[in-house]
A and B are shown apart, each in its own frame.
Chain A
Amino acid sequence: MASRVGPIAKAVLKELVIIILVVIWLIPVYAIIINGFKSNVAVVSTNALMPALPFTLTAYQEAWSALAQPLLNSLALVLPVSILSSILGALGAYYLNNLTRSFNPRDRIIGNIIFALVSLGTFLPYQATLMPLAILMVTINLLGTYWGLLIAYLTFYLPTGALLMSIFIATVPSYLIEAAKMDGASDFNIFFKVVLPVTMPGFISTLIFIIIESWNNFFLPLVLVTNPNSALVSVAVRYFTGGFGTLYNASFAAAVLASLIPLVIFIFLGRYFIRGLLALGGGAKI
């Protein structure tokens, strides 16, 4: 009997641990959602985990009317930023990969230097470069414009894309690239027909990562956006907190609305994200 109970008990225990972890993780999410449906008084006067009674949509309506434009602004910025950063980053990563696999020792040194610069671009805290960046934007007359913001975002997320993709591209077996060379493919074709498809899960992981990171970026739009009509969602959610008080219910509703888009993207592409992470750990078996 003991041998039959053993595995069942183990499985139950495992499930239990998972359930506990999920509950712990879901509590704040639940609180955010539920408090958005309360009145502002109810948020401060009732327990955060209490259901919303009476149930009201006022906060969501309020948040939506304030966030609709910033959501669009963010989408219009984040999509080009993440797609450009991922594709250009991947191309750069492939070039770096070629340099480091080159016969010529000089190429390998150049490759290493560029790689170090790219890493620096990724790891440098962008808060530290914010002032010079703002001054630069003023000088080139792009402060407060869409293009200025796009350039600023690309400055930080393109190296991230290149760094992440160079990790994924390094897992592409060199014989595949060599086979494509022997088959007469140009570098452009090797990249788009062989390297990119083979690293697709990694590419999509990179894309998701950059979407989420740039969507949540707060400092860049805080400093570089000057016109309230162009505000991005990460800054706009702060509108409900002022110097004299906070609209808690609207803040919660805004937080939910602001995370919906990255959440939807993650749900649709999440399986690639996980496959990409697996590829990092398990070599090139994609």
Chain B
Amino acid sequence: MVNITVRNVTKIFKSRNKTVVALNNVDLEVKSGEAFGIVGPSGAGKTTLMRIIAGLEVPTSGEVLFDNEVVSKDGKIIVPPEKRNIGMVFQNWALYPNMTAFDNIAFPLRNQKLPEDEIRKKVKEIAEILGISHVLSHYPRELSGGQQQRVALARALVKSPSVLILDEPFSNLDASLRDGARALVKKLQETFKVTTLIVSHDPADIFSIATRVAVLVDGKIEQMGSPLDVYNNPKSLTIAKLVGEIITGKGVVTTVNGKKVIKYGNLIFQPAFEIPANDSEEVEFGLRPEDVKISKDEKLEGFEFAGKVIVKVSSYSGGAFRIVVSPIENEEIELYALSDIPMKVGDVVNFFYRKDKLKVFPVK
């Protein structure tokens, strides 16, 4: 398997009257056999970075190495994409409409000029693993979305690639099929131990597949680490939002009993660390939904009491009741919390949070 090194890569797109810096001095290392995720908002340069690694795009400056071999450098492709032994799953799968599923999967092998019986054996093997043996004689237009995606995966894996690149591989799938597809990709990645690069804007893809993740914002890598680490300790609010749901509000720093706290209406939040801001400065705080609870109880184990809130809206989504609340002294501002029971609008309840999970960001 292959180690991918991206060194100081900058990509500038120039058109007649516009210059766009798509990537700005990106440094990255994907270790051999690792599943690496790239997450970022749309337009952050994820796809550009992936295409540069694949060899479909050329870096304006900087270099890309596969193991110790330079494959692209300073505006030049040194090893063309067809020589990089990359298996790639495109966002829309890019199956050849004029070929059956079998021929689609066999295409990379035929390009290697393998003997036909060996091709047949390999295609059958991979089709077996992916559960598409029964549709091999069908054309892409006769396949369901899930089957098309499996054919695309089979085509990418059949040639035993050194690198597997997945570009938003699940975004064209129905939500109900996604979890199965993610599990399948994870299993394949672990079976084949292939260096994998997955690009997605959906944190669920990254969490389920990647062991390390880079967060790309405006062409720069803002944070890198394990998905859980990035989730728990995001460097900025943008990153926090990219890797999951977050409940946020703008509060004012105040000193109470010699300790800095954040006041949000009548709610008081106190992180486990010293707030890096002066008194009466505004800061943004963030809490993951699982770190917030509202309850009529006075005390909750493991949670800190922030203050009393009034229920404004109670709705249901995704297995929990979503309750929008306001601090009782200021109904202009809002927060939300998830609850396993519905709550009555107008009820006054207690707002709890996990102190060690409270995140504080400067206001931009």
Interface residue ranges, A against B (CB under 8 Å)? 103, 173, 175-176, 178-186, 189, 193-194, 197-198, 200, 286
Contacts and interface: CB of A to CB of B under 8 A. Distances in A.
B102 to A, nearest CB: 14
A184 B112 CA distance: 7
Nearest to A199: B98
Contacts of A179: 88, 90, 94, 96
A184 B158 CA distance: 12
B97 A182 contact: no
B107 interface: yes
Contacts of B111: 183-186, 189
Nearest to B54: A182
Nearest to A182: B88
A286 B97 contact: yes
A173 B92 CA distance: 11
Given A103-B77, A183-B111, A176 B87 contact: no
A180 B99 CA distance: 12
B99 to A, nearest CB: 8
A186 B111 CA distance: 8
A172 to B, nearest CB: 10
A183 B97 contact: no
A123 to B, nearest CB: 26
Interface residues of B, number: 27
A182 B82 CA distance: 5
A223 B281 CA distance: 91
B323 interface: no
Nearest to A178: B56
Interface of B: 54, 56-58, 75, 77, 80-83, 85-88, 90, 92, 94, 96-99, 107-108, 111-112, 155, 159
Contact of A175 (B81, B94, B98, B159): B94
A107 B156 CA distance: 30
Contacts of B87: 182
A178 B94 contact: yes
B159 to A, nearest CB: 7
B58 A103 contact: yes
B107 A103 contact: no
Contacts of A180: 96, 107
Point out which of A176, A181, A189 has the most chain B C-beta atoms below 10 A from its C-beta: A181
Nearest to A197: B98
- Report, nearest first, the 8 A-B pairs whose CB atoms are least far apart: A197-B98, A179-B94, A183-B108, A184-B111, A175-B94, A103-B58, A182-B88, A184-B82
Contacts of A200: 98
B90 A184 contact: no
Given A103-B75, A181-B81, 18 more contacts: A103-B57, A175-B92, A176-B94, A180-B107, A181-B56, A181-B82, A182-B81, A182-B82, A183-B155, A185-B107, A186-B82, A186-B111, A193-B96, A193-B99, A194-B98, A198-B97, A198-B98, A200-B98
A184 B82 CA distance: 4
Nearest to A173: B94
A189 B108 CA distance: 11
Contacts of A178: 56, 81, 90, 94
9 contacts: A103-B57, A103-B58, A176-B94, A178-B94, A182-B56, A184-B111, A189-B111, A194-B96, A197-B98
Contacts, number: 62
Point out which of A173, A184, A286 has the most chain B C-beta atoms below 10 A from its C-beta: A184
Contacts of A173: 94
Contacts of A175: 90, 92, 94
A184 B88 CA distance: 11
B32 to A, nearest CB: 20
B81 A193 contact: no
A185 B112 CA distance: 8
Contacts of A181: 56, 80-82
A187 to B, nearest CB: 9
Contacts of B112: 184
Nearest to A284: B97
B82 A176 contact: no
Contact of A185 (B57, B82, B92, B99): B82
Nearest to B58: A103
Nearest to A174: B56
A184 B159 contact: yes
Contacts of B94: 173, 175-176, 178-179
A200 B97 CA distance: 12
B245 to A, nearest CB: 32
Nearest to A187: B82
Contacts of A186: 82, 111
Nearest to A196: B98
Point out which of B77, B99, B111 has the most chain A C-beta atoms below 10 A from its C-beta: B111
A176 B58 contact: no
Contact of B108 (A176, A184, A197): A184
Nearest to B98: A197
Nearest to B103: A193
A193 B94 CA distance: 14
Contacts of A184: 82-83, 85, 108, 111-112, 159
Contacts of A189: 111
A182 B53 CA distance: 12
Contacts of A198: 96-98
A181 B56 CA distance: 9
Nearest to A200: B98
Contacts of B96: 176, 179-180, 193-194, 197-198
Nearest to B92: A175
Point out which of B75, B88, B98 has the most chain A C-beta atoms below 10 A from its C-beta: B98
Nearest to B156: A182
Given A175-B94, A193-B107, A286-B97, A182 B86 contact: yes
Contacts of B90: 175, 178-179
Contacts of B56: 178, 181-182
Contacts of B81: 178, 181-182
